[in-house]
Structure 1
């Protein structure tokens, strides 16, 4: 079975589970179902997240840190603080955003487009926000994640998996530190505190489809484990963690719980996420986090949760978890991230054209709980390779 057939089959499976599949490519890659990228980011939306202890202990696998310039002392970056700038920033004239898109405490810190790779699978082209130019700039990285505060990013060189990750200073656009955990890494995610990282290790490229291990019901990925490291020292411990059975797609990155105390991995079953402590031991899911199918997850105050539907849509229902009542039913396809407690970044299609192929002609929106919609970007076709996928971060 070739790559295109595998993608088609996976998309068909996922379409059956979704009301409006506006980001099939992203889901098949594991970016929406894998913490990575999309869902995991939304779980870090606590503005008051505090620093937690860095995982360092006896029996740790040796982790090395290398400065980008060997003869220079290792640079450090001060602890992150979230920007007080909550202004609305849009880029309506661009199909692919050029200028910063932001609202409330949240911004599109980066985005990627996906294309078929020369040897099969998918290759991402990353565009990272450069505060110096005020624009998104194309990067050479194979994978990246942006820290809360948007002062630094964790970057991975291609081809994946790679032997190290870099800490990129966004002000200078230079790598100030390289971190190796003695394992090849294919995914990386910042903790809500902006200091720790979880690195997901793989034996093979996590974006290339391969037959499931152990038959059709076995795991399809090659995840070998993970390490939680301190971004300033690079110190951490590697823990083995094989793929979760039954998960579609080889990318199965780990992400962070809202508090930053636990890690989670995606599943294709109910619940949608399984949780672990920082040593890889299974843990009960925090309240309402395991069933967060919409990428936005819980609101910053923890009271609201978006749910898919009702059909035929497009619609996303916002439930008040305190009262158990419906707070709003919004005419959107997906809830992507919270700007604040009353507004959401969302994907929406053209008014009166959200049927058939029209559901894929969509753009990024800002929507209030009262249903007021503000367009943020131009329209694009989300059902084709080459469409753009936003990465949200606290600014």
Structure 2
């Protein structure tokens, strides 16, 4: 295996909890690096699943029509689109889902051979409906309703968790912790936080001396740590209202990356995290004491690297592109309990459900050339797409990570 293949495999193994870069990211990185032999390669937790093509011979859900209309407030269930903005400056939302934040990332050099991928966030101001840069935080998890967020300060792992009012930009209170925290996620009702603990920074990168291998230019590149190097130690489950909770250890695993955060299951009774190369949707479930357990019946056929997961009513599961997809423009919808495919929907990466038949996805923008995704609204059983954002242009210089969306449920 040459270094090109090692880098590609490392990139494909990485996955961020809330939003991965898009399908084909590893290949785009390598293609650009080959064109620009003297530039540095900056890589990030990557790759989403690969996906599917045409509809199957089963009944598809009704397509309906979509009207894009302006709105000035966060509440409601209409469509707020800004197809001329990338990254977005003004509120993007559709149905139950709202773009609550987005982030970019770049490596911060720590030594000759180590760096840490460092995020910069733009957070939604729920009063103005605009995204404002806030570089105080290394990690942000937005609560359902998009009015409150849990934040970690710049140096990871962090020893306290802030509860941030998104309207005022002020931290209402701090939750101290005994062990360093690197990742956060809210429960579906917003009442609890799971805080993943690490012994060292979860987004460490290592310098690869590229010129030592055939086919690489005579420069050096930063790549994520390979799987099996995670310092993850366990998690806290905390009550958001009073900050109380307990820490639970988890056993070390070789099939996890540097960052492999925990998230709540649908009903909040279990947690799950990604594993690399697993047969059950690349995910492992845990009870709240940190013991590995079987997946719940309605989440057994999900994939940890597909953000949308279950539909609001729980009857459909969002999956990724299948190997047969040639134009990378269709994704699978399955029965979550049987794993049987029941429909297909436009989109190369399914990010969030809008309602029980529509989703927000990354979709390839029309035209030739490299993968140029935009956020779109898609409907099961329809080829129609409604653009929500402008096109996310590839960064030829790869000096920063392309902006990554953070979607949450919006509530009245």
Correspondence 1:136 to 2:131: yes
Aligned residue pair count: 331
Gaps of 5+ in 1: 34-82
Correspondence 1:124 to 2:119: yes
Correspondence 1:273 to 2:275: no
Match of 2:156 in 1: 160
Correspondence 1:101 to 2:117: no
Correspondence 1:87 to 2:98: no
Give the one of 232, 241, 251 matched to 2:250: 241
Correspondence 1:391 to 2:391: no
Shift of 1:84: 5.6
Match of 1:41 in 2: none
Cα separation, 1, equivalents of 2:337 and 2:198: 40
- Structure 1 contact 91–97 (Cα < 8 Å) conserved: yes
Match of 1:37 in 2: none
Q: 1:241 to 1:32 in 2, by over 3 A?
A: farther
Correspondence 1:379 to 2:391: yes
Match of 2:326 in 1: 312
Q: 1:12 to 1:328 in 2, by over 3 A?
A: closer
Shift of 1:171: 2.7
Cα separation, 1, equivalents of 2:171 and 2:384: 41
Shift of 1:224: 1.4
Q: 1:207 to 1:218 in 2, by over 3 A?
A: closer
Write out aligned runs for 1:311-390 (5 A). Answer: 311-314=325-328, 315-321=330-336, 326-351=341-366, 353=368, 358=370, 360-369=371-380, 370-381=382-393, 384=398, 385-390=400-405
Match of 1:264 in 2: 272
Q: 1:111 to 1:321 in 2, by over 3 A?
A: same
- Structure 1 contact 105–339 (Cα < 8 Å) conserved: yes
Three-state SS of the structure 1 residue aligned to 2:289 is coil
Shift of 1:329: 2.5
Q: 1:22 to 1:344 in 2, by over 3 A?
A: farther
Shift of 1:388: 0.6
Match of 1:219 in 2: 228
TM-score of the aligned structures, taking structure 2 as reference length: 0.73
Cα separation, 2, equivalents of 1:124 and 1:170: 18
Match of 2:10 in 1: 10
Cα separation, 1, equivalents of 2:337 and 2:180: 43
Match of 1:253 in 2: 261
Cα separation, 1, equivalents of 2:97 and 2:393: 24
Shift of 1:290: 3.9
- Structure 1 contact 181–238 (Cα < 8 Å) conserved: no
Q: 1:230 to 1:87 in 2, by over 3 A?
A: same
Shift of 1:306: 2.7
Cα separation, 1, equivalents of 2:12 and 2:172: 43
Shift of 1:150: 1.5
- Structure 1 contact 117–123 (Cα < 8 Å) conserved: yes
Q: 1:84 to 1:13 in 2, by over 3 A?
A: closer
Three-state SS of the structure 2 residue aligned to 1:311 is coil
Match of 1:45 in 2: none
Gaps of 5+ in 2: 30-41, 50-73, 208-224
- Structure 1 contact 113–124 (Cα < 8 Å) conserved: yes
TM-score of the aligned structures, taking structure 1 as reference length: 0.76
Deviations 1:65-101 (CA, angstroms, capped at 9, x unpaired): xxxxxxxxxxxxxxxxxx8600101121211111111
Deviations 1:256-312 (CA, angstroms, capped at 9, x unpaired): 101111111110122211111111122210124243233211211122123322422
Shift of 1:206: 0.5
Cα separation, 1, equivalents of 2:288 and 2:82: 39
Correspondence 1:21 to 2:16: no
Q: 1:197 to 1:125 in 2, by over 3 A?
A: same
Q: Which consecutive segments of 4 or more residues in structure 1 shift more than 6 A?
A: 30-33, 322-325
- Structure 2 contact 301–336 (Cα < 8 Å) conserved: no
